Structure 1
Amino acid sequence: MRVCRDNRADVNGRVRWDPLDYAAHSAVQEGWGRELVARLPLRGDERVLDVGCGDGRLTAMLADRVPRGLVVGVDSSPEMVAYARAVHSRGRQSRLRFEVCPAGEIGGLGEFDVVFSNATLHWIRDQAGFFRAAACCLRAGGGLWVFGNARGNAEAVVRALFRTVRARTWRAWFASLPREWAFYEEAQYERWLAEAGFGVRRVAAVERGERFRDVAAFAGWIRTTWLPYTQRVPEELRDAFVGAVVTSYLEQCPAGPDGSVWVAMRRLELEAVRI
C-alpha cells in the first residue's frame, strides 16, 4: 500500500487541531503515553522536554513526577498550547510551562535531562533533524524516550479510508491524495540516532491491539486523528465522511458483541542516551 511505501510526509499547514475534541477522543494516545511515562526512571528533580505535548495531559503528569524539576511541553499547534496552558498550568507554574515550538527547533530551548515524545514522530517532516535537535538540548547521559506509530500501523483503517476517498461521493475532494505521515524501518531509526550522537538502547516495532468502547468512540478517534484527510472535506460534510470511513471499516472488521471496535496497531518504541 502507498501508506507503507511512501516515506514522504506532507501534512501541510492547513491542519488545525480542536483541543476539546482531541481531549475527548484520544484515549489510545493517552494510554500509550501513560505507559511511556511509567517507563521513565525519574528521581524527581529532572528537566524534561515533552515534544508534541498536544492538550498537555501527559506533560502535566510528567510535572507531577518531578516536583523539584521542570517540564516544558512544546507543540507546533497554537491551539493545543493555549488549551494546555489554560487547563494544566494552574498549581504547577513553578515546574511546568508550554511553548509553541516545532520539533526541529527544540535545540534552542536549553538543556534537559530527558526528551519525551508520544504519538508525534510520524507528524514530523524531518525526523533525522528532530533527533539532531534532541541531541542538542540533552545533557551528556540524558535520555530520549519516544513512542510513535510504526510502519503498517492501523492498516485496516487505512484500507477503509482509501476505499472511502475513492468512492464517487468523496473523490472530488481527493483528486490528489495528501502524502502520508512518515514511517521508516527500524534500521533507519538506528542509523539516524547514531548519527545524531545517541547510543541506541531500543528500537522496536511492537504489535498492539486497541479496543474502542463503541462505534462512537472509534468515529471520534478518526475525526480527531486523521486530519490530513478529514479536513479535506467541507466542514458541513465531515461527520458524513467519517461515518463512511467507519462503515467501510466495520464491513471488514465488525464490532464485537459488546459493541466495541478493535483495531490492530503497531507502535514504534525508541530509547536512546546522549553520548
Structure 2
Amino acid sequence: MNTYRWNAQDYAQNSHAQQQWAKEMMALLRLTGSETVLDLGCGDGKITAEIAKIVDRGAVVGIDNAEAMIALARHRYPEQQHPNLSFQVMDAEKLSFAECFDLVFSNAVLHWVRQHQPVIDGLYRSLKTGGKILLRMGGKGDAAGMREAIDRVKDSARWSRYFIGFEFPYTFPGVDEYRLMLETAGFTVKRLELIAKDMTHEGPAWLAGWIRTTWLPYTQRIPENLKESFIEAVCSSYLDQVPLCADGKAHVAMVLLDVEAEKSAKL
C-alpha cells in the first residue's frame, strides 16, 4: 500500500463527507457493547473513538499506514482516557492479527490499495469464526467527473512534465470482482452493493481543500511552490464541466462499494 505525506490536521478539517459516510456505516454495525473491533484505515481516530464508546465492555484497535494519522489519533484519544481504544501503524496488505476480532470496519480507505486479495485474506485471518466485515470504499465509476478534470489538467502542456511515468493509483472495484475475492478467501457474502452518493462542498475553497487533502498521488508530484496553482486549475477544470449550484455549492458524483461478509465456521 502506498504511503503519502498526509497532513493529518488538514485532512481532519476537509473530510466531512467521509465522516458522514462512516456514521451511516456505524448505524449498520448492530453492536451489543462487548465486541472487539478493528478499524482498518482509522485516519485521525474520530470514528474509531465513537465505536469505542459503543463497545464500552469490548475493545477497538485502529490501524493506519500513515504515521501522521496515528500520531494525531493517539494525541486526541490517549489510552489513559480511552482504555479500550488503541492505535497502531500497520499496512492493510500486511495485517498481523490472528482470530482477534468480532468485526472489521473500514470506511473510505481500501480504494487506496492496489492489490485487494492480500487485504481480504488478512481480514479473514484477523476475524474470529462468525466474525464480520463491514467495508465501504470507492467503487466502479467513483468520482469520474473529478478524475476527468484532473486528467485534463495533468495532461496539459504546463503540468504534463510532472506526470511522466504516472500510474493511476486507486482501485475502484465492481461487485462481481469483489465477490470473487471474498469467496476465494473463504467469506460468506451477505451484501455487495454499489451506491451513488452526492458529495457536497460549500464552495470552491472547500472543493480545493478536498483536492488538496485527498488527491495526494497527483498533488504530491507538483513542486510545493506550484501546488496551489495546480489545485486551482483542477477546480476550474471541474467547475467548467459541473458548475456551482445556485446556492454556491459544488457537487461531486461519487460511487461507493459497500461490503458485508462473514467468516463462517468451516464444515
What's the TM-score, normalizing by structure 2?
Answer: 0.95
1:221 has 2:181 as partner:
no
Partner of 1:257: 246
Counterpart of 1:256 in 2: which secondary structure? coil
Alignment of 1:170-209 (within 5 A): 170-209=159-198
Structure 1 position 91, deviation (Å): 5.6
What's the offset of the Cα at 1:166? 1.4
Percentage of identical aligned residues:
39
One-letter code aligned to 2:209: G
RMSD: 1.3
Describe the superposition over 1:29-76 as per-residue Cα deviations: whole angstroms up to 9, x where unpaired: 111111111110100010000000111111111111111110000001
Q: Distance in 2 between matches of 1:90 and 1:76?
A: 20
SS at match of 1:108: coil
Counterpart-to-counterpart distance in 2, 1:258 and 1:88: 37
Q: Which runs of 4+ in 1 moved over 6 A?
A: none
Superposed displacement of residue 92, structure 1: 4.1
Contact 1:178 1:229 in 2 (8 A): no
Q: Per-residue deviation at 1:178?
A: 2.7
Aligned to 1:38: 27
Q: In structure 2, how many angstroms separate the alpha carbons of the residues matched to 1:116 and 1:207? A: 20
Name the residue aligned to 2:53. 64
Unaligned runs of 5+ in 2: none
Does residue 163 (structure 1) correspond to residue 152 (structure 2)? The answer is: yes
8 Å CA contact retained: 1:63, 1:92: no
Between the aligned partners of 1:176 and 1:197, the Cα distance in structure 2 is 37
TM-score, normalised by the number of residues in structure 1 = 0.93
Q: Could you say what secondary structure the match of 1:117 adopts?
A: strand
Unaligned runs of 5+ in 1: 1-10
Structure 1 residue 184: Cα displacement: 2.3
- What is the alpha-carbon distance in structure 1 between the residues aligned to residue 52 and residue 114 of structure 2? 28
Q: What is the deviation of 1:109?
A: 5.9
Partner AA of 1:244 in structure 2: A
Which of 36, 39, 51 is equivalent to 2:40? 51
Q: Residue 164 of structure 1: CA displacement?
A: 0.5
